[in-house]
Amino acid sequence: MKAFKSCLTTCLVVFFLSPVCRADLIDSKLALVIDVSASVSDSDYQFQIQAFETAFNHPTVLANIDALNEGILVEVFFFSSSAVSADIDMLLTSAADAAVFSTMIGALTRPFSEGTSPADGMILASDWLLDSTVWESPSLLALVVGDGYGSYHNDGAARDAAQANGVTINGLAVDDPGYFIDACLPSGYYFENITTADGQCYQANSYADFEQALTLALIDATETPRLVAAPRPLAIFAFSFLLFTCIRSVLFRCLSVKYA
In a domain, 18, yes or no: no
In a domain, 83, yes or no: yes
- Give the range of the structural domain holding residue 52, as residue numbers without chain letter: 26-221
Would strands 135-136 and 90-92 be described as parallel, antiparallel, or unpaired? unpaired
Q: Are 226 and 67 in contact (CB under 8 A)?
A: yes
In a domain, 237, yes or no: no
- In tens, the pLDDT along 121-177 reads 999 999 999 999 999 999 999 999 999 999 999 999 999 999 999 999 999 999 987
- In tens, the pLDDT along 39-72 reads 999 999 999 999 999 999 999 999 999 999 999 9
For the CA atoms of the chain, what is the radius of gyration? Answer: 24
What are residue 250's phi and psi, to 5 degrees? -65, -45
In a domain, 6, yes or no: no
In a domain, 3, yes or no: no
Residue 243 — pLDDT band, cuts 50, 70, 90? Answer: low
- Rounded to an integer, what distance in angstroms lies between the CA atom of residue 36 and that of residue 64? 28
Residue 208 — pLDDT band, cuts 50, 70, 90? Answer: confident
Task: Work out whether the CA dihedral 144, 146, 151, 153 comes out positive or negative.
Answer: positive
In a domain, 10, yes or no: no
CATH number at residue 93: 3.40.50.410
Under DSSP, the state recorded for 146 is E
- pLDDT confidence of residue 245: 63
In a domain, 251, yes or no: no
- In tens, the pLDDT along 7-28 reads 555 554 444 444 445 579 999 9
Mean pLDDT of the residues in the chain: 87
In a domain, 260, yes or no: no
Name the H helices within 68-172: 95-106, 118-130, 155-164
Number of domains in the chain: 1
